[in-house]
Amino acid sequence: MTMTTHTKQQRVAGRWGVAGALAATVALAGCQGFFDVVNPGPLSDEELNVPAAVQGVVTGMSADFSVMFDYIVPVSGMASDEISHGGSYTAEGLWVRGIFRAEDVNGQWANMQRARWVAEHGIERMKGVGGYAFDTNILSARAYLWAGLANRTLGEIACDAIIDGGPKQANSVYFTRAEAHYTEAIRIATAVGGTAGTAVANAAYGGRAAAKAALGKWAEAVSDAQRIPINFVYNAVYSTNSSRENNQFVSETWVRREFTVWGTRWANVFKDPRVPWDTVKTSSGAIQKGQDGKTNYFRQRKYPDLGAEIPLVKGTEMLMIRAEERLRAGDINGAYGHMNTARTFYGLPALTPAASLAQAWTDFKAERGATLWLEGRRWFDLRRWGAETGPMNDTFLTGRATCMPISQNEVDANPNLH
Amino acid sequence: MTVSVRRALHLARVASLFAMASATTTPLFAQGTGTIKGVVKAASTNRPLDEAQIAIVGSLRGARTNAAGEYTIGGVEEGTVQLRVQRLGFAASTRTVTVAANQTLTVDFSLNEAAVSLEAVVVTGTAAQARKKEIGNAMAAISSQELEVAPVQNTQDILGARATGVTVMANSGQPGTGGTIRLRGSNSISQGNNPIIYVDGIRIFSENGPVGLSSRQNSLTLNDVKAADIERIEVVKGAAATTLYGTEASGGVIQIFTKKGATGRPQWSFETSQGYNDLKDIGSPDDPTGYFVKQCRGPNLVDATGAKFVDPTCPASGSWASKGQVQRYSTAVRGGGEALTYALSGNFANEQGVIKPGGYKEGGYRGNFVFSPTKSLLLALSNSYQKNYTRWIPDGNNASGFLLNVGRGPFNNFKGGRGECANITETCVTNAYLLELVPERRGDHFITGLTGTWSPNANITNRLAVGYDYNSNDNSDTYPFGFLNIPRGQIWKQDWNHTKLSLDYTGSLVSTLPLGGLASTFAWGGQMFEDREYYTRVDGLDFAGPGDVTLASAARTSVLGQDRLRVITAGMFLQEMIGWNDRLFVTAGLRVDGNSAFGKNFGLQKYPKISASYVMSDHDWFPKTFVQDFKVRAALGESGKAPGAFDAVRTWDPVAGDDGVPGFTPAQRGNPDLGPERTREVELGFDVGAFDGRLGIEATYFDARTRDALIPVTYSPSEGFTRTQLENVGEIGNKGYEVSINGAFVRNATLEWSGRLNVTRTRSNTYDIGSAPSISTGLSTEIRKGYAVPAYYGTRILNPDKFEAPQLSTTNEFLGLVYPTRLYSLGTSLSYKNLLTLDVLGEYQGGHSLANWIGYQNARRGIFPLCYATETKLRASAAGDAFALNDVTALQRARCAINRAQMSDKYFIEDASFFKLRNVSVTWNLPARWIPGSRSASLMVAGRNLFRKTDYLGSDPEVADARDAGAAIGRRDYYNMPPVRTFLATFRMGF
């Protein structure tokens, strides 16, 4: 640094420098718009509050449900002996042994809750969209249907209910909410009518039947169930259109070999169209091993491609509800009647009604299990049967987790749980 | 006269001026002026010094020495001027000379080596040029001399072990891989800790580029600046020093200065390196197979039960690893007239990895021009372009990864092959087929900067720089048609480019104050940066047949994502430095910043700084018998890190559902109050130069605290948004000390022997993370209050070394730190008559751990060779042998458990401390007469990573899977190839 005395020129230049700096400060402080940058990609929340966005909002509900459900299927399946684990994932190795830790279920819990929140929050948004005829648009009925199905999934999988960061409640809260949503879906879909209205209404009736059964309202469940044609199916949609739309369960059983039918009770079930699986041989002729390199890989064939859809409500499921209602009433023949109707639908020979209620329950559990195989439902079946006494009691889950705990992230982040 | 005609005439005048300047050495402003020329040499050895900077104090006039140590400054106004010459590693020298009109004055300099030079001029973090004695913070500088004796693989290697507080981790041994650089540890949990990088005053992109899907690694833009072009590197490490850089500077600043032209006739230089890469260390020395990479055939290919497996596709050598040839070439020419100097260089390199066909090619050029159209104006134009191609091998956490498959022995994913396994009864693996996967990266990096410096008089300087940095990566991962595990093939494409446009103005005014002995340097300035990033990911599946493919060859394609981001940061600063009798300096400054990513409710950010430097040795009373230079310093300052482009607003992502119908899903919860995190650092230290420049000590204590730390907060998932939301809720800190000791033990015309020791100790702590008990940072790492940032947690074995059953903690406990807390480097250089020079540099990094997932995943499968003996004993014990486990520790029993369900990856979080012999080189300066026409020539034989000492059992303690880590700061070794050993012979020639 060289020091000299001030000259006039320096003082002028110095003043200009300071003035320039101050001017720049003022300009920066006063022109906040300078930093206003519009980036493409994500949409702001306000942009969804227009009628043209409603279709996307409802599609989003369906999409988020599908993203959630294709991994609930193997999770529930491993917990309930529908499928086993032959891969390298750590948490799955615990789940297949019936061990569910809060820290391992953050992803599944979050996806289930997002599917519920997106649907319920979307319904409230749609009600406030100016120019959108909420009560007469099939999109509103579909939104309620997704809200009902998301609540049903939570009710069947989760141990406890948490709504929007609220306190812990009994998991029956999910079924209660589901029933209300289905009822609204039925109301609007019926008003809309036509093919689309009928399909949504049937799905909502079917969903409500299951929700009512879960709540113990069997007579009402049957009332809804008997409305559904035997060939009716309402699916969670998957597609090869984009990777997010892929059926991830297929990716884990066809692209990878993470899950295997080997070692489950269903590995002893052959030539049943409801329980399709096969074996894969290596080039040397040996049975292909799973991703862990040691477990036999028996490949599920129910969902053979990345766009395979997963049933959510089926006419044959309704027959199982009706059969179970009959068994609970002690009507063995009535129950077998419904079961055999379903078997005939699948091209299977009829079963001879059992002589005892105990055997009838055993047969029924196998029939319901096969009918709903790999549809994410059996864990809850085993859970509710395990809670019963008498011939319907089931012991498979004894010593194993009966449901998914509240995730560690929810426990940590929800002040109502502290 | 029309405007267009006037403009044409003006352009013609400018063009003629430029032509005249570049075509002749005649001064542009020759009336009443003279010329100064001379030679700069080292005092002890009398060898000429290139890259020495000679400046006429108080003006923009100056020159640089060429390779012969010569310099020329023309157009010097007649009269008395002060000449100052400086070069890293030498004491600056100032001499007053009188120039006569139309005369040439010869002024030679003989510079003394100096471990500490307080007169040296630095620029990084100082607003205007400042002498080292004036600044209150530590600054590391690395000279080209150090680079010449270092057989570095890439530029990041230059930084490692050569400056205190700098951690460089290689991440992978694959050529072309970028490493991780940390300056004084991690000051941010979520916003990255990469230092920002300037090249010749132009800021370039310094964050992480896209990570290859199959290579699991990325590149580092720093490595595109080639070592042969670098004159020196300045590193400022903490917020106290980087305040004037504002938002984004809390990770520190690295500034690279490339070589400029020197006045005189063109001087050419040529350099070539030939050698090879070699795989020496992978895993533990107790496993001779090196995870079956070094041995892929023979009796050692067995699992824990002794069952054999074979790989008929193993190369004939019996090892997957082979020597990978390394070729590097560079050439440069420097010269110029008094008004225009130039430095042009070109480079080409072709480097094979140790696993074929992995390799790396690059080529590029640099052109630096400095133009002085008037004595008060200096224009500098710097351009560089580097093109590179990386052919990775698939690696890391990847089902087709090389080490994952080879290392897992019989449990790999490539079995059966194409008939090779017929009639083989053992488990038959065919790993050669995974190498048919082609992960590639094509990179282009262009940097241009125009800097104008106008100094109307000796005390006022204005500098305006316009810069543009263009980075492009074209990544693809191609599974060709017929690939063993994906027969119809697949292609992943990543097209990414990032541009950074910068405008940077700084002004300074030097003046005396009307008070005794006081002087002022006032600086002001402003910067604007516009970042744009375009990133598209597309996946294509199912090719119709073999051949080179494009996305259009795929029967099905899907767009995995596209980002188009724009972020603007702008700020300005004021700084005042008051000097007292040229020995006490107090500096105060303020930086004000805005950023487009700040929340709507968030205004401009202000970052203050204050520092002081006191050169006590400049007092007459200071005893200078032993210590000639002694400076104490203190600095306090702040800098920050901005959140990401979308973090402040509530957003929804467009997605598809219902088979291709557009829809929306929750993206970001949003926070309108979001602002940058602010790191405040206090730094205290002293610099000592003793024994006539033979000993230099620089010691610094630092304590950095990041407040309003941007922490990814998990909200209740039941509220719909599943992603974390950044909130300004945390407080983390980093403190420690750095000591650098340079000593010249012997210094005479025959022998020079010097040594250097760098010691860095850091201690990280978390003071607050909001209401959450911990924050996951991925890969078994968390942030917890009271612990370092970040650390590994999990079930701990309480009795690891006892010969008994493992006792496990019932809660998740602290298991180890992710980043080193102790960095030691020791180097020495021995030179005989300036003919032969031996240079050795070793580095120790310690105090940290690494998650060894190779060990864990292999042990789970019974294919971890280090567990074989233990497993045998465990089986014997299970069979009833009561004494089988007498010499088996609890840690061994847990890691090698026969019941795999009892295993945990947490038992494999291992001490990752290591020592590596970074480089050993011998340089022979050949007599110029041996090569007719040459000016100088040298031959260097060197080795890198020649020796490794570590207890870590995974691939290597430096590696990490970059794709695993993502943007987080966790690290994990998941079958990543280790850094390699390199031998190089380098020939340099000047003519």
Asked whether the predicted pLDDT for residue B196 surpasses 60, the reply is yes
In whole angstroms, what is the distance from residue A174 CA to residue B643 CA? 37
* Buried/exposed code over B45-84 (b: 16+ C-beta within 10 A; e: otherwise): beebbbbbbbbbebbbbbbbbbbbbbbbbbbbbeeebebb
Tell me if B952 sits within 8 A of B924, measured CB to CB: no
Q: Is A345 left (phi over 0), alpha (psi -120 to 50) or beta?
A: alpha
In whole angstroms, what is the distance from residue B971 CA to residue B922 CA? 36
Partner-chain residue, chosen from A6, A56, A114, that has the shortest CB–CB distance to B663:
A56
Mind telling me how many Å the CA of A331 is from chain B's nearest CA? 41
Q: Which residue in B has a C-alpha nearest to residue A119's C-alpha?
A: B720
- Of B948, B987, B966, B963, which is closest to residue B404 (Cα–Cα)? B963
CB within 8 Å: B507 and A118:
no
Of B68-77, B539-548, B681-690, B978-987, give the lowest mean pLDDT range: B68-77
- Residues of chain B found within 8 Å of residue A292, distances taken between Cβ atoms: 411, 861
Secondary structure (3-state) at B639: strand
Sheet with B140-143, side-by-side order of all strands = B140-143, B230-236, B253-258, B196-199, B202-204
Mind telling me how many Å the CA of A111 is from chain B's nearest CA? 7
- What letter does residue B15 receive in the DSSP assignment? H
Q: Report pLDDT for B601.
A: 64
Residue B816: both structure tokens together: 């180890």
Q: May I ask the CATH architecture of the domain A49-239+311-396?
A: Alpha Horseshoe (1.25)
Tell me if B587 sits within 8 A of B610, measured CB to CB: yes
Q: Report pLDDT for B933.
A: 84
Q: Report pLDDT for A69.
A: 98
- Of A200, A70, A222, which is closest to residue A145 (Cα–Cα)? A200
Mind telling me how many Å the CA of A132 is from chain B's nearest CA? 17
CB within 8 Å: A239 and B660:
yes
- Of B57, B93, B89, B91, which is closest to residue B73 (Cα–Cα)? B57
Mind telling me how many Å the CA of A153 is from chain B's nearest CA? 14
Asked whether the predicted pLDDT for residue B21 surpasses 80, the reply is no
Helix A138-157, helix A194-214: angle, nearest 10: 20
Query: How many C-beta atoms surround the C-beta of residue B924 within 10 A?
Result: 12
Percent of chain B beyond pLDDT 90?
58
pLDDT for B664-705, tens place per residue? 999 989 888 888 889 999 999 999 999 988 999 999 999 999
CB within 8 Å: B772 and A293:
no
pLDDT for B803-812, tens place per residue? 999 999 998 8
Angle at B653 between CA B652 and CA B656, to 5 degrees: 130
Taking residues A292-321, report their average pLDDT.
95
In whole angstroms, what is the distance from residue B207 CA to residue B220 CA? 8
Chains A, B: CB contacts under 8 A, how many?
Answer: 278
Q: Which residue in A has a C-alpha nearest to residue B569's C-alpha?
A: A35
Partner-chain residue, chosen from A42, A237, A410, that has the shortest CB–CB distance to B716:
A410
Partner-chain residue, chosen from B134, B419, B574, that has the shortest CB–CB distance to A1:
B134
In whole angstroms, what is the distance from residue A125 CA to residue A188 CA? 17
In whole angstroms, what is the distance from residue B386 CA to residue B295 CA? 37
Higher pLDDT residue, A267 or B59? A267
Interface test with B, best of A7, A35, A162 (most B CBs within 10 A): A35
Q: Which class for A12: exposed (0-12), middle (13-18), buried (19 or more C-beta within 10 A)?
A: exposed
Angle at B592 between CA B589 and CA B593, to 5 degrees: 140
Asked whether the predicted pLDDT for residue B326 surpasses 70, the reply is yes
Tell me if A353 sits within 8 A of A404, measured CB to CB: no
Query: What is the separation of C-alpha B579 from the centre of its chain, rounded to a whole number of angstroms?
Result: 35
CB within 8 Å: A44 and B422:
no
pLDDT for B718-774, tens place per residue? 999 988 888 888 899 999 999 999 999 998 888 989 999 999 999 999 999 887 778
Beta bridge partners of B247: B640
CB within 8 Å: B460 and A10:
yes
CB within 8 Å: B716 and A164:
yes
Looking up tokens 């941007």 gives B710
Q: Which class for B882: exposed (0-12), middle (13-18), buried (19 or more C-beta within 10 A)?
A: exposed
Average pLDDT, rounded, for chain B: 89
Partner-chain residue, chosen from B579, B722, B772, that has the shortest CB–CB distance to A412:
B772
Secondary structure (3-state) at B931: coil
Chain B residues 556-575 with a CB less than 8 Å from chain A = 556, 558-560, 562-568, 570-572, 574
Average pLDDT, rounded, for chain A: 91
Range list of H helices, A158-250: 172-192, 194-214, 218-225, 248-250
Q: Report pLDDT for B748.
A: 84
Give yes or no for B854 touching A (CB within 8 A): no
Tell me if A168 sits within 8 A of A160, measured CB to CB: yes
In whole angstroms, what is the distance from residue B458 CA to residue B449 CA? 25
Tell me if B702 sits within 8 A of B183, measured CB to CB: no
pLDDT for B128-141, tens place per residue? 778 888 999 998 88
Q: Report pLDDT for B22.
A: 41
pLDDT for B615-640, tens place per residue? 999 999 999 899 999 999 999 999 88
Looking up tokens 């306090």 gives B636
- Of B247, B229, B228, B249, which is closest to residue B239 (Cα–Cα)? B249
Give yes or no for B723 touching A (CB within 8 A): no
- Residues of chain A found within 8 Å of residue B650, distances taken between Cβ atoms: 44-45
Tell me if A72 sits within 8 A of A157, measured CB to CB: yes
In whole angstroms, what is the distance from residue B282 CA to residue B955 CA? 5
Instruction: For residue B440, report the phi and psi dihedrals to the nearest 5 degrees.
Output: -135, 150
- Of A293, A292, A296, which is closest to residue A261 (Cα–Cα)? A296
CB within 8 Å: B57 and A64:
no
Instruction: Please tell me whether the peptide bond between B394 and the residue prior to it is cis, using omega within 30 degrees of 0.
Output: no
* Buried/exposed code over B601-616 (b: 16+ C-beta within 10 A; e: otherwise): ebebbebebbbbbbbe
Of A259-263, B415-419, B586-590, give the lowest mean pLDDT range: B415-419
CB within 8 Å: A48 and B654:
no
Instruction: Identify the H or E element spanning B909.
Output: strand B909-911
pLDDT for B930-963, tens place per residue? 888 888 899 999 999 999 999 999 999 999 887 7
CB within 8 Å: B861 and A292:
yes
Query: What is the separation of C-alpha B966 from the centre of its chain, rounded to a whole number of angstroms?
Result: 18
Tell me if B823 sits within 8 A of B760, measured CB to CB: yes
- Residues of chain B found within 8 Å of residue A146, distances taken between Cβ atoms: none
Q: B6 CB contacts (<8 Å, ≥6 apart)?
A: none
User: What is the pLDDT confidence band of residue B239, given thresholds at 50, 70 and 90?
Assistant: confident
Partner-chain residue, chosen from A164, A244, A282, that has the shortest CB–CB distance to B718:
A164
Taking residues B831-849, report their average pLDDT.
93
Q: Report pLDDT for B843.
A: 95
Chain B residues 432-461 with a CB less than 8 Å from chain A = 456-460
Interface test with A, best of B461, B658, B718 (most A CBs within 10 A): B718
- Residues of chain A found within 8 Å of residue B562, distances taken between Cβ atoms: 41
Torsion of Cα atoms, B966 then B969 then B974 then B979, to 10°: 100
CB within 8 Å: A245 and B657:
yes
For chain B, how far is it from start to end, CA to CA, in angstroms? 51
Tell me if B817 sits within 8 A of B957, measured CB to CB: no
* Buried/exposed code over A272-299 (b: 16+ C-beta within 10 A; e: otherwise): bebbbbeeeeebeeeebbbbbbebbbbb
CB within 8 Å: A60 and B579:
no
Chain B residues 57-116 with a CB less than 8 Å from chain A = 57-58, 82
Q: Report pLDDT for B4.
A: 42
Partner-chain residue, chosen from A17, A56, A67, that has the shortest CB–CB distance to B524:
A17
CB within 8 Å: A10 and B714:
no
In whole angstroms, what is the distance from residue A162 CA to residue A159 CA? 10
Q: Which residue in A has a C-alpha nearest to residue B523's C-alpha?
A: A17
Tell me if B680 sits within 8 A of B636, measured CB to CB: yes
pLDDT for A82-117, tens place per residue? 999 998 888 999 999 999 999 899 999 999 999 999
- Residues of chain B found within 8 Å of residue A37, distances taken between Cβ atoms: 566-568, 596, 645
In whole angstroms, what is the distance from residue B184 CA to residue B735 CA? 8
Q: Which residue in A has a C-alpha nearest to residue B525's C-alpha?
A: A21
CB within 8 Å: A28 and B722:
no
Tell me if B440 sits within 8 A of B392, measured CB to CB: yes
Side-chain half-sphere CA neighbours of A242 within 13 A: 20
Q: B922 CB contacts (<8 Å, ≥6 apart)?
A: B836, B837, B838, B839, B940, B941, B942
Q: Which residue in B has a C-alpha nearest to residue A306's C-alpha?
A: B659
Mind telling me how many Å the CA of A312 is from chain B's nearest CA? 14
Of A66-80, B249-263, B297-311, B428-442, give the lowest mean pLDDT range: B249-263
Asked whether the predicted pLDDT for residue B18 surpasses 50, the reply is no
pLDDT for B860-897, tens place per residue? 889 999 999 999 999 999 999 999 999 999 999 999 99
